[in-house]
């Protein structure tokens, strides 16, 4: 392995164990880091794809070309066309490539994959604009989440796979004393990959949610078919193209990693997943389809599904800082994050502070004021909220205003100075009584907040745990200055396999997850059965097989 790749891989493996801060790819789009013209060059390259064929892939003889991506900022089609292939063609090519790739040593696999990330790094700005105009993310989030943060998650998967594949020796002399003689066997062990892996992407985070599965399967020797969401293809297509470029340079079959594009009117996800030769499936999306995939026989399936994320408010040091932090979490990408808070449990008597009790109504007013303050800030609001990826999300926000309770804040539009036609919606905030579980026991995806009035913090915690255990949760926020209650919340939510962010104010938010440190989804509640990136995430992609033979005298 070349020295630069070996150094990065060594640091990544160390970071996996230490769980401290580590980032191989700088998250700030600073000219000093990426070059003075990197942003302009990336934007120009993105624009060069519009209305054209994406012809970078090494996937010959497509059956046709198509693409249906639409910019949430322009509400116009991108016009990018991608090569389309039948399920049988994709699987046949993947099967042939698998038998080549599985014979490649883990060191060589790691070098190829790390080199692909170095190539992707040079295209972070192009990927950022592609992400903006497919997902609606704001520029900074689009750059960070689809570029550096996604690459760090990919690196994390490479490091985890590399570590597990090297856990046991490839061979050993087994020498058993038997009194007057010894039995000696030569033993060898092989990590045998499962086969064809299908990675099914989502529309809101097309690379961040996909590349962990892509690189996790590739490092463990599986061939991969990447099936992006029809509405968000270009960002992950660039990743696949760079992987293929390196494979071709190494004289390997580019079908080791293929892009499988489909259209809304003729989707191939189900027949692809059900194909008997497909052994591994990674999925991010709704619970109904995720549960269907989990039930498919003969497959190893990794899912991230929907969940109901809670905030427990008991006592705080500074209520205004808390309200500001939570308002930012809700406004961020218009609530279109799987980690975004939805159910805010606030005691009927209010929230305790050093200055006295802040009533439920006072907290609601402060929270709404902070939401509006950010939304109405022309230098921040449009860029934090971004645009809404799917029109159905806007419809869901309007419907939320009809929920049975006081509407503290109605959703509205706002002016984006750069994109006057952007599809936008600000958060809606509705007060709900804790007795109305039927209202708040489901995910309401988008900028929707429910202020749930509870009897006390005990009921708040009980409801948060119940929602997580029965309906899933990916994140939870909690605010308390009581050490005993803090431990009770930590223990109770841990039993529901839900991580808790305590007492966040300032520049860190419960939405965020850091590679090499935070396990994204635990796999322990209905929001998903897998976790980025614990050992099981990679060990289930291969099988240890041992052979033995007597030592010749």
pLDDT tens for the chain, residues 1 to 553: 688 899 999 999 999 999 999 999 999 999 999 999 999 999 999 999 999 999 999 999 999 999 999 999 999 999 999 999 999 999 999 999 999 999 999 999 999 999 999 999 999 999 999 999 999 999 999 999 999 999 999 999 999 999 999 999 999 999 999 999 999 999 999 999 999 999 999 999 999 999 999 999 999 999 999 999 999 999 999 999 999 999 999 999 999 999 999 999 999 999 999 999 999 999 999 999 999 999 999 999 999 999 999 999 999 999 999 999 999 999 999 999 999 999 999 999 999 999 999 999 999 999 999 999 999 999 999 999 999 999 999 999 999 999 999 999 999 999 999 999 999 999 999 999 999 999 999 999 999 999 999 999 999 999 999 999 999 999 999 999 999 999 999 999 999 999 999 999 989 999 999 999 999 999 999 999 999 999 999 999 999 999 999 999 7
List beta partners, residue 311. Answer: 344, 477
238, 129 Cβ separation under 8 angstroms: no
C-alpha torsion 515→242→285→402, nearest 10: 90
Query: Among candidates 369, 371, 346, 350, which has minimal Cα distance to 433?
Result: 346
CB count, 10 Å around CB of 518? 15
Using CA atoms, how far apart are residues 133 and 165, in angstroms rounded to an integer? 38
Cα-atom radius of gyration of the chain, to the nearest Å? 25
Show contacts of 165-174: CB within 8 Å, 24+ apart: 165/106, 165/191, 165/219, 165/220, 165/542, 166/106, 168/544, 173/551, 174/548
- HEC string for 403-458: CCCCEEECCCCCCCCCCCCCCCCCCEEEEEECCCHHHHCCCCCCCEEEEEEECCHH
Query: Among candidates 41, 55, 52, which has minimal Cα distance to 77?
Result: 52
CB neighbour class for 99 (10 Å; exposed up to 12, middle 13-18, buried from 19): exposed
| Torsion over CA: 329, 396, 267, 74 (sign) | negative
Distances (CA, A) of 37 to 33, 43, 171, 224, 462: 11, 10, 51, 34, 53
527, 304 Cβ separation under 8 angstroms: yes
| b (16+ CB within 10 A) / e for 4-21 | ebeebbeebbebbeeeee
Q: Which helix (H) or strand (E) holds 257?
A: strand 257-259
Q: Are strands 171-177 and 182-193 parallel, antiparallel or unpaired?
A: antiparallel
Task: For tokens 């209010």, name the residue.
Answer: 350
Using CA atoms, how far apart are residues 134 and 146, in angstroms rounded to an integer? 12
pTM of the model: 0.96
Query: For the chain, first and last CA: distance in Å?
Result: 37
Q: Taking the mean position of all CA atoms in its chain, how far away is CA 500?
A: 18
pLDDT of residue 523: 97
Query: Which strands sit side by side in the sheet containing 182-193, from one edge to the other?
Result: 171-177, 182-193, 542-550
Using CA atoms, how far apart are residues 417 and 157, in angstroms rounded to an integer? 39
Distances (CA, A) of 487 to 225, 457, 481, 483, 491: 44, 13, 11, 6, 6
Task: For tokens 């005993």, name the residue.
Answer: 484
Three-state secondary-structure class, residue 175: strand
CA 525, 526, 531: angle at the middle one, nearest 5?
Answer: 60
Domains, the chain, ranges and CATH? 3-305+534-548 (3.40.605.10), 310-495 (3.40.309.10)
Query: Among candidates 130, 125, 278, which has minimal Cα distance to 206?
Result: 130
Distances (CA, A) of 66 to 117, 231, 264: 27, 12, 11
230, 68 Cβ separation under 8 angstroms: yes
pLDDT of residue 1: 67
Using CA atoms, how far apart are residues 248 and 191, in angstroms rounded to an integer? 25
| DSSP string across 324-370 | HHHHHHHHGGGG-STT---EEEEETT-EEETTEEEPHHHHHHHHHHH
Distances (CA, A) of 399 to 364, 427, 444, 449: 21, 12, 10, 13
How is residue 309 written in tokens?
A: 């994320």
Using CA atoms, how far apart are residues 396 and 286, in angstroms rounded to an integer? 15
Task: For tokens 């980025």, name the residue.
Answer: 532
């Amino acid at each position: 392995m070349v020295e630069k790749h070996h150094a990065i891989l060594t640091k990544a493996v160390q970071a996996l164990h230490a769980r401290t801060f580590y980032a191989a790819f700088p998250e700030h789009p600073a000219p000093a880091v990426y070059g003075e013209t990197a942003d302009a060059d990336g934007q120009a390259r993105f624009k060069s794809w519009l209305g054209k064929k994406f012809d970078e892939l090494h996937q010959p003889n497509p059956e046709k070309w198509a693409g249906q991506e639409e910019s949430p900022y322009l509400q116009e089609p991108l016009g990018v066309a991608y090569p389309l292939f039948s399920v049988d063609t994709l699987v046949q090519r993947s099967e042939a490539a698998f038998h080549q790739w599985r014979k490649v040593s883990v060191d060589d696999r790691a070098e190829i994959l790390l080199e692909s990330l170095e190539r992707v790094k040079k295209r972070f700005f192009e990927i950022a604009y592609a992400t903006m105009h497919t997902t609606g993310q704001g520029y900074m989030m689009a750059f960070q989440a689809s570029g550096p943060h996604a690459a760090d998650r990919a690196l994390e998967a490479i490091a985890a796979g590399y570590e597990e594949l090297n856990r046991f020796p490839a061979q050993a002399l087994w020498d058993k004393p038997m009194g007057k003689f010894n039995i000696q066997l030569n033993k060898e062990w092989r990590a045998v990959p499962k086969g064809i892996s299908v990675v099914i992407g989502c529309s809101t985070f097309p690379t961040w949610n996909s590349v962990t599965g892509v690189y996790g399967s590739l490092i463990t020797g599986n061939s991969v078919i990447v099936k992006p969401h029809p509405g968000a293809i270009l960002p992950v297509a660039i990743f696949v193209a760079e992987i293929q470029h390196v494979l071709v340079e190494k004289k390997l079959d580019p079908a080791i990693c293929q892009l499988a594009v489909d259209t809304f009117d003729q989707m191939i996800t189900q027949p692809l997943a059900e194909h008997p030769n497909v052994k591994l499936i990674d999925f991010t999306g709704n619970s109904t389809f995720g549960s269907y995939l989990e039930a498919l026989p003969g497959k190893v399936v990794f899912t991230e599904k929907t969940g109901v994320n809670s905030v427990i408010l008991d006592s705080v040091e500074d209520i205004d800082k808390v309200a500001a932090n939570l308002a930012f979490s809700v406004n961020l990408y218009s609530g279109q994050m799987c980690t975004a808070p939805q159910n805010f449990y606030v005691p009927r008597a209010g929230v305790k502070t050093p200055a006295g009790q802040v009533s439920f109504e006072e907290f609601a007013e402060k929270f709404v004021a902070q939401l509006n303050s950010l939304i109405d800030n022309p230098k921040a609001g449009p860029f934090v909220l971004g645009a809404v990826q799917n029109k159905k999300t806007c419809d869901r926000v309007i419907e939320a205003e009809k929920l049975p309770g006081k509407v503290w804040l109605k959703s509205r539009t706002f002016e984006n100075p750069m994109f006057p036609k952007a599809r936008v919606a600000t958060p809606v905030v509705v007060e709900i009584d804790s007795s109305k579980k039927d209202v708040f026991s489901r995910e309401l995806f988008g900028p929707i907040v429910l202020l749930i009035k509870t009897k006390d913090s005990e009921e708040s915690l009980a409801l948060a745990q119940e929602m997580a255990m029965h309906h899933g949760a990916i994140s939870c926020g909690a605010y308390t200055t009581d050490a005993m209650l803090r431990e009770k919340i930590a223990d109770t939510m841990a039993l529901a396999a839900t991580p808790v962010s305590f007492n966040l104010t300032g520049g860190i938010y419960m939405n965020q997850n850091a590679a090499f440190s935070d396990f994204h989804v635990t796999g322990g509640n209905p929001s998903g059965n897998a976790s980025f990136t614990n050992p099981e995430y990679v060990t289930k992609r291969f099988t240890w097989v041992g052979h033995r033979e007597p030592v010749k005298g």
